[in-house]
Structure 1
């Protein structure tokens, strides 16, 4: 499948917030869904570089947000109907200097599907910690 990776447009903001809210509620079933809000997307991506993944039909499949100063992938969210179809891979491949650059992220331990995705793309577990949503592992991608 062919994806277009591009910067967000003003008209994307509502759909990106919808994706962020719905995927979190669907995935993080161990967290009270009332803790997730539509306005979280704007607050949680403030100051970050956002990459949008667009399907050939023009619909938004998902997004990745990067905190460039630390090469930290803060978020990668894909709508459920597009999961497993290459959208997440396309977003990773759109990162600056991928795969010749080191990146890191935190993945909740309970989010087994996401962890399997990152491990299959060359990330390695390099640390761990705890957050309000649960324990996490730090994953790092080392250049090829």
Structure 2
């Protein structure tokens, strides 16, 4: 499948917010869905670098947000119809200096599919903690 990875455009904002909202509600079934709101996307990505994954037909498949100062991948969200087709991999591969650079992220323990994705891409568990959405593990990508 062919993906275009690019910075977001102003006209992408509503769709990115919708992807963030809908995927959270579908994935984090252990959290009250009323706690998730359309405006969360703007608040939760403020000051972050965002990469958008666009399908060849122009539809947005998902996005990645990065806090570059800490090499921290804050979010990687893919619409369900595009999951398992390489969109997430394309976003990781578009990170600056991937795969020679160290990156880290937090993955909720209950989000087993996401954890399996990251482990399959070379991330390893390096810590753990708790958040309002549940326990998480810190995962790090350490180049060899």
Q: Please tell me the TM-score bracket, short chain as reference.
A: over 0.9
Q: Where in structure 2 are there 5+ consecutive unaligned residues?
A: none
Q: Extract unaligned runs of 5+ from structure 1.
A: none
- Distance (Å, rounded) in 2 between the aligned partners of 1:29 and 1:117: 19
Normalised TM-score (structure 1): 1.00
Counterparts of 2:118 and 2:59 in 1: how far apart (Å)? 24
SS of the residue aligned with 1:37?
coil
Give secondary structure in 2 for the equivalent of 1:106: strand
Correspondence for 2:56:
56
1:33-67 CA-partner distances (Å, limit 9, x unpaired): 00000000000000000000000000000000000
Residue 37 of structure 2 aligns to a residue whose secondary structure is coil
Distance 2:97 2:143 in 1: 9
SS at match of 2:126: strand
Whole-Å separation in 2 of the counterparts to 1:105 and 1:2? 26
Q: 1:106 aligned to 2:106? A: yes
Secondary structure class of the residue paired with 1:77? strand
| Aligned-pair CA distance for 1:143 | 1.3
